[in-house]
Amino acid sequence: HSLKAGAVSAVSGVRHPILLSKKVLENSPHVFLSGKGAIDFAKHLGMEFQPMKWFITKQRKKQLIEAKARQSVLLDHSEKQTDKFGTVGAVARDKMGHLAAATSTGGMTNKQYGRIGDSPIIGAGTYANDQSCAVSCTGHGEYFIRGVVAYDVSCLMEYKNMDLASACKLVVHDKLVKLGGKGGLIAVGKDGSIALPFNTKGMYRAWVKEGESPQVAID
């Protein structure tokens, strides 16, 4: 309802970057902190840190070694269902009708040092506006940045009076595809409607409404 936002990128050791992003929203005059500045901000607020080895898993290390051997960059949309990893997003509408979105990611595997994806960029990978919808994206971040995807969905609803499903379909299956981007998004509209479109082979997703059982899907 206030369009407040917080984001961090290029942080190491912070156990919960998404909580640090919330602290930026609540305790900083800024929207986006990165690198050492974000880390120092986290330490000042007493955020939880873990040693670097805590973040290393056998699966991700194996993927990194394989990607380096092939000199390739991997998205978090592996064709193997057992190898899914990467972006985690959430969108919500509360009983007052207020909307919120959050997105956290480790980015692409074997990405260029210093690369920043769409997840922390407000309007690209994450956006929420009570007048339209809340959106969290996952996929090839460069294209989501270029398409300002999360904000684009909101704009289509707010300025062209499109419903959530139609706006998401146009952005994910038409505009994003024309740019060459792969991925998807989760979104909830101001009326409580839900959309979870993707143009890849699969996307892990789940949703729940008050009084209903939680639903999950992959393909």
> Cα–Cα distances in Å, from 11 out to 27, 50, 96, 184, 195?
18, 12, 34, 25, 31
Q: Which of 82, 87, 109, 200 is catalytic?
A: 87
Which helix H or strand E contains 19, and what residues bound it?
A: helix 17-27
Is 109 marked active-site? no
Encode burial over 103-122: b for 16+ CB neighbours within 10 A, e otherwise. Answer: bbbbbbbbeeeeebbbbbbb
Provide the 10 A C-beta neighbour count for residue 83.
14
Active-site residues, by number, are 87
